[in-house]
Amino acid sequence: MFILIKNSSIYSPKFIGEKDILICNDKIVEIGENLNYTFKDLITIDGKGMKCVPGFMDTHMHIIGGGGEAGCITRVPEIPLSTFITSGLTTVTGLLGTDSITRDIETLVAKTKSLNESGMNAYCLTGSYTFPSPTLTGDIQKDIVFIHEIIGVKLAISDHRSSAITVDELERLALHTRVAGMVGAKKSFVELHIGTAKTYIDIIFKVLERGQTPASAFKPTHISRSKELFKEGIKFNKMGGYIDITSCLASHLPMDQSFAMLKEENAILDRVTLSSDGNGSWNRCDSDGKIIEIGKSSCNEVHNGIKVLVENKILSLEDALPFATSNTAGGLGIAHERGSIKENYYADLLLLDDKLDIDTVIANGNIMMQNREVLKKGYYE
């Protein structure tokens, strides 16, 4: 199948001008001016007045639902395919949250497979908040090596719902994950949910001080939960690690403050990403720790985060996009084939209007949404 996108302003994510893009099956095969082809069954999309950007990537999503912290009635349901599409997401990483009792890795892998079968690009993490980590095969290394979709392990630290992992245990987990990534030819990592405890990411620094584990073995998320935590996150970033900002949450630092701190502290911006925590639960507790309000995070916060950065003149569009595209691809080890608009890359593309709202979504060369109409829905939607 051939798709020709005409006359859009292309952000690769760097702005490269108004050009045409030719897609064959799942790849971008040509980018240029005034491309004219007459292939049989060629689909032509008029991109005039539109901005063509790489598909958004979100590496922290509760694709089979989060929640459950106020009883089983508060378990958040699975994310339907159309929600990913309307959020502009072409690559996602799914994971478990607090509840690995009524949810499991088997279901998570099955959901990830279904998203890939639907035309998206999806991965998942073994493990959960708890340690020892729940797995599919009984072994974290075997999960990573033998299960194509699994690219790392999830764990929670500095959180009252975590397992209070020790420095020795975290170091061993990171080293095992790293070796599994080598054997499985994946850029595997330990993704760390950071809670509200004042220990912040001190345990990561203690592991790094021992000298066996590189900073790239860890990927802390929710890093803008507080100013103090964010400062530690920037320190970690400058040591060689990726840090992940949960976009647009009211309980976290405002985006303008976060990005001002990144600039002031000379953070390595290529190793900073945005994610949504989509479909994960949030809650508010009273003084006794009893949950008095609970809800779920929106799945479109990566898109919203980009809009906030641009509309509030914090960053230009080409400077904002990497945090949801090329940076994220780098952290996943797939920057050689995704996260940018280049020839021979996978055709993961969005067309945005002048308000940066999503008009068209193409994932792996599949037109998932066009003219704001979702064309591909989940099997039972």
Does the structure show a pLDDT above 80 at 273?
Answer: yes
Domain assignment present for residue 169? The answer is: yes
Please say whether the beta carbons of 317 and 56 come within 8 A: no
Statement to judge: residues 158 and 291 lie in one domain:
yes
Q: Which domain holds residue 46?
A: 2-54+339-374
Give residue 2's pLDDT band: very low, low, confident or very high (50, 70, 90). very high
Give residue 209's pLDDT band: very low, low, confident or very high (50, 70, 90). very high
Q: How many domains would you assign to the chain?
A: 2
Is 277 a catalytic site residue?
yes
Domain assignment present for residue 381? The answer is: no
Prediction pTM value: 0.96
Matching residue, tokens 């009635």:
73
Q: Which of 177, 225, 173 is nearest to 201 (CA)?
A: 225
Matching residue, tokens 């001190």:
202
Q: Which two tokens stand for residue 234?
A: 């920037």
- Give 314's Cβ-side CA count (13 Å radius): 20
Statement to judge: residues 32 and 93 lie in one domain:
no
Question: Among residues 277, 286, 319, 357, which one is catalytic?
Answer: 277
Statement to judge: residues 172 and 66 lie in one domain:
yes
H helices present in the chain, as ranges: 81-86, 105-117, 140-146, 167-184, 202-209, 227-238, 255-264, 301-311, 317-320, 326-332
The answer for residues whose C-beta is within 8 angstroms of residue 252's C-beta and 6 or more apart is 222, 224, 225, 245, 246, 258
Mean pLDDT in residue range 233-254: 94
The answer for residues whose C-beta is within 8 angstroms of residue 110's C-beta and 6 or more apart is none
Does the structure show a pLDDT above 90 at 70?
Answer: no
